[in-house]
Structure 1
Amino acid sequence: MSKIEWYLEYEIQKNRPGLLGDISSLLGMLSINIVTINGVDDQRRGLLLRCDSNEQIERLESILKTMDHIKVTKLREPKLRDRLAVRHGRYIQRDADDKKTFRFVRNELGVLVDFLAELFKQDGHKLIGIRGMPRVGKTESIVASSVCANKRWLFVSSTLLKQTIRSQLIEEEYNEDNVFIIDGIVSTRRATEKHWQLVREIMRVPATKVIEHPDVFVQNSEYTLEDFDYIIELRNDPDEEITYDAVDGTQIFQDNGFSMFDF
């Protein structure tokens, strides 16, 4: 019989010595294994559990409700955010109004790379947008995540090393295991119609596509933000405003000394 995984999160109402030990003993008596445990806030702990049946979890839930020292905040099949919260000790910040938007700051690049890598491992079409000011670490995070997910990354348009604008791919590059990276500013400010034909072809490939500067991309194409499965916002600090007034494509190329070359 295959094992079932659950995520348990509880808030400590009154901390006392041996509280975690009592919960661990309870899980042991119910034959529920603890896969991972970590604090996910100052007063909250998260546990990734594994058991044989849902009945074990139902019994656990009924007992936990009688414990005055804790309050169960989550007991569910683990989502990606739950797994990362236990792994890194904190939750990824999510937009309260737009549930597909996730926010990171530069000192959380390790968490961002882990998050993207888990998304890249999933099969099928996935469209991810990344917002952020120049040199905040967008492209580097995408490449590092591709490595972690054991995926090949392929620049369709980029300014990482040189200004790259692809107008065609060789047959083997139309691979569902590739991560296709598109810079929205480069594609909209400097590309030809042939490049856009390639972009449309890639959009039809059941693979992961990552668009840097998605807002600029949708303003100059037939795609909309509704087409995106995830939007990532990466800032140098939590209060930084992501604005495109200063992110002019020509200025980026001049500041970095890039020269155009086509494939």
Structure 2
Amino acid sequence: MDSIFNLIELADRLYSLCQTVKANKEQRGRLAEMVISLKKVLSILQEQDPSHTPPQALEEHLVELQTCFRDAEELLNKYGNTSCLGRVFKAKAMEEDFEDLFQRLDDVRQLLSLSLQVEQRGEVHSVHDVVDRAEQKIDLLHEKMDKLIVKGKEVKGPETPSPAASPQDADKLLGDIRGRFVEKASLPLIKQLLDGLQQERVLNSEEAEAVLEEQAARADRARCLIDMVRKKGRRASEKMITLLRERDPNLGMTLGLA
């Protein structure tokens, strides 16, 4: 069927786009796995015995898959081109959009699998299992990270804000030191802060990637980081100040954070 051939070409293009776009590593990784799985189903459908009459609903499922692939391209282009600060405000919407897309793709995948001849379904199910296991590993990793964060907070006990980073002025303080931070923060320090802020759940992986991958110069990365954290409010600013003092005490003293 010509429609299947065109969908396979579209799947190849979408997979290449997943490898090209730098931002949103986790989401595009999941999407790439699903595209591989769906392409396998399409390839088997294309080679299926001509005497096997496809279900009447098959064409409808193929049309829905084409719509899903087009929507996936739009999402990758939309969120892959979003600036690092813009992604902060769109993080929730991005997560919801991708989850909706993944659900639609999985539904179509199951429906298309039913159109296969019985002897071919086992081959496809093995591919589905690989994708499902990959998604389960991602979910398990998130659960472990959440447990480690909770356990760490229990061990450390309640946090006491330092005089230099009291709840009332933490975000204002970041604004005051912004220029000197941009001037003096080294690239290794920026990376350490990004790691720490992810562990503290202040930034997600997509936001951290945006700081490093969308900004070429060290100063631009430092500026993007501090602006991103300030936009998140007082608690995020407190976390960054605490991390900055821990990771580079000398710079902390220079900036007046000691």
* Bigger radius of gyration among the two: 2
Q: Which has the higher helix share?
A: 2
Higher relative contact order (CA 8 A, sep 6+): 2
TM interval, shorter chain, is under 0.3
**TM-score, scaled to structure 2:** 0.25
**TM-score, scaled to structure 1:** 0.24
Q: Which has the higher strand share?
A: 1
